[in-house]
Chain A
Amino acid sequence: MLILIALGILLIAVLARMLWQSEPKAKDLQLDCSREATARFHCLQEHDRIVERIFGDEDWNFLRHRVPSEIRRSFLKQRREMAFCWLTLIRVKAKGVMHHHLAYARSFQSLEPVLECKVAINYLAFQLSCALLAGLLWLRGPVALRGTVVRAHELCERLRALTEVRWDQTLAARQRS
Chain B
Amino acid sequence: MNFYALSLWLIGPLLEALILARGIQTGWFPKYRAFSAYVCCVLIQDLLFLGVYFLRFNDYGWIYWWGELFSVAFGIGVTWEIFGLILGPYSGAGRMARNVLGVVIVMTFSANLAAAWSSQLLPSGTVVELERNLRVMQALSLLVLAALATYYRIPIGRNAKGMFGGYGIFIGTSVITLTLRSSLGESFQRAWVSAQPLCYVLTLVIWSAFLWKYEPVPAVDVRPRIEEDYRLLALITKKRVLQARAILGKATRP
Contact = CB atoms under 8 A, between A and B. Distances in A.
Q: How large is the interface on A (under 10, 10 to 19, 20 to 34, 35 or more residues)?
A: 35 or more
A164 interface: no
Interface in A7-37: 7-12, 14-16, 18-19, 23-24, 26, 29-31
B164 A118 contact: no
Interface in A117-149: 118-120, 122-123, 125-126, 129-130, 133, 136, 142, 145-146, 149
A7 B220 CA distance: 32
Nearest to B215: A23
A54 B252 CA distance: 11
Interface of A: prevailing SS? helix
B96 A116 contact: yes
B248 A113 contact: no
A40 interface: yes
B interface, size bucket: 35 or more
B146 A107 contact: no
A101 B206 CA distance: 34
A105 B92 CA distance: 7
Interface stretch (B24-32, B58-66, B236-244): B236-244
Contacts, number: 206
Interface stretch (B7-15, B47-55, B152-160): B152-160
Given A29-B218, A133-B248, A7 B175 contact: yes
23 contacts: A5-B175, A14-B146, A16-B165, A18-B156, A23-B158, A23-B161, A30-B221, A94-B244, A97-B237, A100-B237, A102-B152, A105-B152, A106-B92, A107-B90, A108-B225, A110-B231, A111-B91, A111-B93, A122-B242, A126-B241, A126-B244, A133-B252, A149-B252
Interface of A: 1, 4-5, 7-12, 14-16, 18-19, 23-24, 26, 29-31, 39-41, 44, 47-48, 51, 54-56, 83, 90, 93-94, 97-113, 115-116, 118-120, 122-123, 125-126, 129-130, 133, 136, 142, 145-146, 149-150
